[in-house]
Structure 1
Amino acid sequence: MCCSVGFARTLGLALLPLALCSILANLLLLFPMGEISYIQQDRLAGYVWYFGGLGGGGLLMLVPAVAFITLGKCSCCWNESLMMCGSVLAAVVGLAGSSYCFVVSGFSLVQGPQCFTSYGWTYPFADQGGRYLMQPETWSRCLQPVHIVEWNVTLQCLLLGLAVLEFILCLLQLGNGLVNVICRPCCYKQEYSLNA
């Protein structure tokens, strides 16, 4: 049990900076190139308001991170199986959060940013199905905010990567917790029969 608790705590410590980075990346999406005027004028892409990094990959990910880190430190009378069941539930919350972050970031990348073009404020890449990502020469269609495509692509790709890492870590703890919940009673029975 000690090994599995230590493993869970390590995963929790790894999730914490990933969640904070997701929150930071999502906040940066709200302020293209560090300017607040675009948020005031409601000129941000629609998917930014779904808060994939802030909610899913960030705040929701703090639930499993804290649960894994504090595993076994509670002075209440929980037995070991119940404690691992709690970590399994926290891992499921983390899987849901990272999946949400991944889906929102993916759709945002495919749609592309809202920007000012020669035709006014529009989504110039929305009908391309993400092909614009391989055609950086077309990014100059966006006149304002300056370098918004690079800003958007970098941060959304960062969120995608963070979501994948968070998903893997939560999946590892899900497996770890399930193995302990299922196999721990068997180990106790074997130990009891050997001692008898």
Structure 2
Amino acid sequence: MCTGSCARCLGIALVPLAVLGFLANVLLFFPGGKVMADNSNLSQEVWYFGGILGSGDDLPTPQMIFPALVFLGLKNNDCCGCCGNESCGKRFAMFTSIIFAVIGLVGAGYSFIISAVSINKGPKCLMDTKTWGYPFHDGDYLGDQALWKRCLEPPNVVPWNLTLFSILLVIGGVQIVLCAIQVINGLLGTLCGDCQCCGGEGAV
């Protein structure tokens, strides 16, 4: 597969992952499907916006959507290049894709770390009639569902947070792999140019 076609496939895969990460993070603001009366009672990691700033497609900080769009456009990039040299233009386009892939790696890594920390820490919840806090320690609740009873409110907050942060963890992991592949693919495209490296003569 030529470097441009490979990049396009990676971009196609990243777009739905970014959207899913965004939606998962939004749902974390409604633990158990309920609107919180006091947002300070939400888990701290929810406010780090791992699925929005990192894996999602939030426009002010598009760590994932920009790389995806760049990868999608590489195959049809017909930049005339430096001094009219098309091959040079293709190589430069592949080089810039490496930069965006690294940006994607940083965003996905951020989301992955935040999700892992939150899963290990457990959700913030009502532990008794008055006290909100984190009743779990070092992921002890993961292997013992009986401990989930320590959370009185919001209802079903433990499986809710665990499911959504697990989704973000998986998304972040997959995005890390895809962006790492594009770093290698972009490097090959920069060094080798078009499909000429693999015997082709046409576009990237």
Same fold, TM-score > 0.5, yes or no: yes
Match of 1:115 in 2: 125
- Give the superposition deviation at 1:163: 0.5
- Give the superposition deviation at 1:75: 5.6
Runs of 4+ in structure 1 deviating by more than 6 angstroms, as ranges, are none
1:71 alignment partner AA:
L
Matches within 5 A, 1:5-16: 5-16=4-15
Distance in 2 separating the partners of 1:80 and 1:19:
27
Contact kept in structure 2, 1:72 and 1:83, CA below 8 Å: no
Distance 1:74 1:81, change over 3 A: closer
Distance in 2 separating the partners of 1:41 and 1:82:
47
2:125 alignment partner AA:
C
Distance in 2 separating the partners of 1:124 and 1:35:
20
1:177 alignment partner AA:
G
Match of 2:29 in 1: 30
Q: Does 1:156 pair with 2:162?
A: no
Matches within 5 A, 1:170-185: 170-184=179-193
Q: What is the aligned counterpart of 2:73 among 70, 73, 79?
A: 70
Distance 1:137 1:13, change over 3 A: same
Q: What is the aligned counterpart of 2:156 among 147, 150, 154?
A: 147
Match of 1:193 in 2: none
Distance 1:147 1:44, change over 3 A: same
> Which of the pair is proportionally richer in helix?
1
- Give the superposition deviation at 1:129: 1.1
The CA deviation string for residues 3-41 of structure 1, in whole angstroms up to 9 with x for no partner, is 211110011000000000000000000111222224x44
The CA deviation string for residues 24-64 of structure 1, in whole angstroms up to 9 with x for no partner, is 000000111222224x4421011110000111011221011
Q: Tell me, which stretches of 5 or more residues in structure 1 are unaligned?
A: 189-196
Q: What is the aligned counterpart of 2:52 among 48, 51, 54?
A: 54
Over the aligned positions, Cα root-mean-square deviation in angstroms equals 2.0
Match of 1:131 in 2: 140
- Give the superposition deviation at 1:90: 1.0
Contact kept in structure 2, 1:45 and 1:113, CA below 8 Å: yes
Contact kept in structure 1, 2:5 and 2:75, CA below 8 Å: no
The CA deviation string for residues 55-87 of structure 1, in whole angstroms up to 9 with x for no partner, is 101122101111101114356534011000111
Q: Tell me, which stretches of 5 or more residues in structure 2 are unaligned?
A: 58-62, 82-88, 198-204
The CA deviation string for residues 101-132 of structure 1, in whole angstroms up to 9 with x for no partner, is 0001111111111101126211111xx21122
Name whichever of 66-75 and 96-105 sits farther off.
66-75
Q: How many residues align?
A: 184
Distance in 2 separating the partners of 1:41 and 1:22:
21
In the superposition, the TM-score normalised over structure 1's length comes to: 0.87
Q: What is the aligned counterpart of 1:86 among 83, 96, 106?
A: 96
